[in-house]
Amino acid sequence: MEAAAELAQRLRAAANERLAGQEPLLLVAAPLLALLAARAVHAAAADVADRGLRTVLITLAMATVKLVPGVSGYIAAEKSKVVEQLQSGSASAKKNLRTELPAVGDPDGVIGELQALKDKDVRWQGKCSGTVYIAGSESEGHFSLINKAYSMFSHTNPLHQDVFKSVAQLEAEVVAMTAALLGSKEKASGGQICGNMTSGGTESILLAVKTSRDYMQSKKGITKPEMIIAESAHSAYDKAAQYFNIKVRRVPVNKEFLADVKGFKRCINGNTIMMVGSAPGFPHGLIDPIEELGELASQYGICLHVDLCLGGFVLPFARKLGYPIPPFDFSVKGVTSISTDVHKYGLAPKGTSTVLYRNHEIRKVEISMEYLSSVCCAIF
């Protein structure tokens, strides 16, 4: 004890002797500067961990390029040209906008007016893959059948299932049929697949992400949730992250343009609530390795959402036709939720999708308000 005190005394004397000649201002400023430098290094390291070295380097390079005289001005001028173009386009469109209710109704003329407006749209029929999915003529075959069925129910309100029992039944049937296509009848699914319809792929994704967040909070107490997605995942996941306060870890795709399972694994930590695989993703039309992601999700006890918005009504049939389709649905262990768009290759009108969950334990946190849960969703 005495020896330690003596050593401390000697160190203090030596330090004081060394610093005696230094300017006092420097002695105050040096630790402050060191603190600032340490904070900057810590922030840079956190940025690299968050966004990856490549993205950080590209951002830095762009910032450096903008320092070259003239570059910033050039970029600003190009941007304002685009903004001007957009604004002048919308200005001419605005000129023709009706902004007040007509004083007198015109039931005979209005359909003609609507037709004239519709005639100005781009001729999309069969030419706008990724925009409208149904083909053929509106007045014939499947297209006309769907329009007729839709018009029969266009003024219902699914919120009031006591009034519209028909809609409740139809929702339950769409959910059950979609689930059956996606493995609900297979033993590996656990036999409890459930879900509901939504207004589109984005809403299905929003619900799946929010449900995974709340499920992981109840299961593991995660309060600073993070999710791992591939660079190729749909922008709806960023939207969900912003709405529901979730940190996104976006992992670059591998050489085959698929979700990089090793990269995903490196991002898993104690705050990870979920991962996302797409089957297929929109940019490349490729199926991520869902089975490997499922193994990873099971190993770490986290959720795995499969984005089948595009593929849900294609892959099951492609498999039946004999195409070598890798596992992508609830038959894969670890998959906890799936989104599938009826309004894409299900060929239904815009505004219909399904979100499915592995079991009721997961789904029950989807809607937590008593008011809504009592009336809103069909559970089959």
Q: Does residue 281 touch ligand PLP according to CB under 6 A?
A: yes
Q: How many helices (H) and strands (E) does the chain have?
A: 14, 7
Q: Does residue 336 touch ligand PLP according to CB under 6 A?
A: no
CB under 6 A: which stretch of 154-162, 165-173, 220-228, 278-286 binds ligand PLP?
278-286
Q: Does residue 171 touch ligand PLP according to CB under 6 A?
A: no
How many whole angstroms separate alpha carbon 293 and alpha carbon 275?
A: 8
| Closer CB to ligand PLP, 273 or 355, in the complex | 355
Site map (CB under 6 A) of ligand PLP, residues 350-379, x = contact = ---x--------------------------
| Closer CB to ligand PLP, 161 or 250, in the complex | 250
CB under 6 A: which stretch of 76-84, 90-98, 101-109, 275-283 binds ligand PLP?
275-283
Q: Does residue 341 touch ligand PLP according to CB under 6 A?
A: yes
The residue of the chain with the least Cβ separation from ligand PLP equals: 201
Q: Does residue 307 touch ligand PLP according to CB under 6 A?
A: yes
Amino acid at the residue 184: S
Where does the chain show beta strands of DSSP type E? 194-198, 226-230, 247-251, 272-278, 303-307, 337-340, 353-357
Q: Which listed residue (259, 309, 315, 332) binds ligand PLP by CB under 6 A?
A: 309
Q: Does residue 134 touch ligand PLP according to CB under 6 A?
A: no
Token match 């500067």: residue?
33
Token match 């939720």: residue?
337
Q: Which listed residue (133, 257, 282, 380) binds ligand PLP by CB under 6 A?
A: 282
| Closer CB to ligand PLP, 179 or 207, in the complex | 207
CB under 6 A: which stretch of 183-191, 248-256, 265-273, 277-285 binds ligand PLP?
277-285
Q: State whether residue 262 is helix, strand or coil.
A: helix
Q: Does residue 230 touch ligand PLP according to CB under 6 A?
A: no
Residues with Cβ within 8 Å of 85's Cβ and at least 6 positions away in sequence, in order, are none
Q: Does residue 236 touch ligand PLP according to CB under 6 A?
A: yes
Smallest distance from ligand PLP to CB 348, Å: 11
| Closer CB to ligand PLP, 222 or 259, in the complex | 259
Distance set, CA 81 to CA 74, 78, 85, 90, 94 (Å): 11, 5, 6, 14, 20
- Give the footprint of ligand PLP on residues 21-40 (CB under 6 A): none
Torsion angle, alpha carbons of 320, 321, 325, 329, to 10 = -30
Q: Which listed residue (259, 310, 335, 365) binds ligand PLP by CB under 6 A?
A: 310
Query: Phi and psi for 124 in degrees, rounded to 5?
Result: -90, -20
Smallest distance from ligand PLP to CB 160, Å: 25
Token match 């409208």: residue?
132
Q: Does residue 250 touch ligand PLP according to CB under 6 A?
A: no
How many whole angstroms separate alpha carbon 290 and alpha carbon 309?
A: 15
Q: Which of the 8 DSSP states describes residue 189?
A: G
- Give the footprint of ligand PLP on residues 189-218 (CB under 6 A): 200-202
Q: Does residue 278 touch ligand PLP according to CB under 6 A?
A: yes
Residues with Cβ within 8 Å of 261's Cβ and at least 6 positions away in sequence, in order, are 289, 292, 293, 296
Q: Does residue 263 touch ligand PLP according to CB under 6 A?
A: no
| Closer CB to ligand PLP, 134 or 309, in the complex | 309
Residue 12 burial class via C-beta count within 10 angstroms: exposed 0-12, middle 13-18, buried 19 and up: exposed
How many whole angstroms separate alpha carbon 290 and alpha carbon 348?
A: 27
- State the maximum Cα–Cα separation within the chain, in Å, rounded to a whole number: 105
Token match 């006890």: residue?
301
Token match 């979700």: residue?
259
Residues forming the site for ligand PLP (CB under 6 A): 200-202, 234, 236, 278, 281-282, 307, 309-310, 341, 353
